Amino acid sequence: MVPEGRVLVESGRQNCTGQLISPQMLSWVILRLGLRQRQTVVSKLDRLNESRAIFHAMRLDPAMAHHAARHIIDLYDRRATDWDRDRGKVLMEKGWLDKFVALLPSGGSILDIGCGSGDPVARYLIQQSYRVIGLDSSQRMIAMCERRFPDNEWIVADMRTIDLGRTYDGLLAWDSTFHLTPEDQEAVFSTFARHAHPGTAMMFTSGPEHGEAIGSWRGDELYHASLAPAEYRAALEANGFEIVDHVVEDETCGRHTVWLARAHGPSSPA
């Protein structure tokens, strides 16, 4: 029997939906699905004004999940241009980004972990005069960042193993760690800790509960996973972070589940 917490979600073909659902929206539908029935998925999409997309849900084999997880870096590198186009430039994250930067010193440094093409999130932070250093495992994504923001530093690296030997005022992992397996997500908190100093702000997104899921985006398998809230709390505490704010399925931010934390130690914005 397939273990609980794994589900396959597949988007309708383009000629059925009339348009391709964005990878960001698809990710959050997948993470919110869990093991709910197909009818629930459609009703949730209706609420998100994406009722033209067609989804099917079924249990998936663990080997299928692991295969999709191993190929996530290759997927984003091959489809970098498609992702950049489908992502769109609407900044639904602005409210949370403003909460995040309120914890930073003026002009502080931000390590954007899983920065993608740099648009629109990194662009917004750069426009606010923060010093953004972007990190992504896709060379093609980083190449887009370099063309768009040549005055910033952009790094091709794996967030699971990177050690830059320096710390930052802010760490941001928006819509990126959920592509790691649950085991890798637990381990990546040590990456956060290595790059933090007392007072460093850290923000990331997750699913609402423990599980793994696979979506189909432009015909490719798109892997996602989440820990349980208690596991995220434990990982934060074990790595020296305290929670500042946390909202599950925030209605004002596309139903993202968001964690805002801070490394232990005194610090206040300049």
Q: What is the pLDDT of residues 65-87, one digit of tens each?
A: 677 788 888 999 999 999 998 88
In a domain, 125, yes or no: yes
68 in any annotated domain: no
Residue 79 domain-assigned?
A: no
Residues 133-175 pLDDT 10s: 999 999 999 999 999 999 999 999 999 999 999 999 999 999 9
Displacement of CA 94 from its chain's centroid (Å): 15
pLDDT reported for residue 86:
86
For residue 196, tell me if it sits in a domain.
Answer: yes
The domain that contains 235 carries what CATH number?
A: 3.40.50.150
27 found inside a domain:
no
Average pLDDT of span 48-62: 41
Query: 106 in a domain, yes or no?
Result: yes
Which of 29-38, 120-129, 176-185, 201-210 is predicted least confidently? 29-38
d(C-alpha 142, C-alpha 165), whole Å: 20
Q: Sign of torsion, CA 134 26 212 140?
A: negative
Instruction: pLDDT band for 255, please (50, 70, 90 cuts).
Output: confident
Range in 47-51, 73-77, 90-94, 223-227 the model is least confident about = 47-51
* pLDDT score, position 254: 84
Please indicate whether residue 119 or residue 7 has the higher confidence score (pLDDT): 119
How many domains does one find in the chain? 1
pLDDT for residue 63? 64
Give the chain's mean pLDDT: 81
Q: How confident is the model at residue 47 (pLDDT cuts 50, 70, 90)?
A: very low
Domain span at residue 120 reads: 102-209+228-263
- pTM for the whole thing? 0.81
How far, CA to CA in Å, does 44 sit from each of 32, 49, 93, 150, 227?
9, 9, 20, 40, 22
User: Which residue did the predictor score with more confidence, 101 or 45?
Assistant: 101
The answer to whether residue 219 is domain-embedded is no
Residue 112 within a domain: yes
Diameter of the chain by CA atoms? Answer: 56
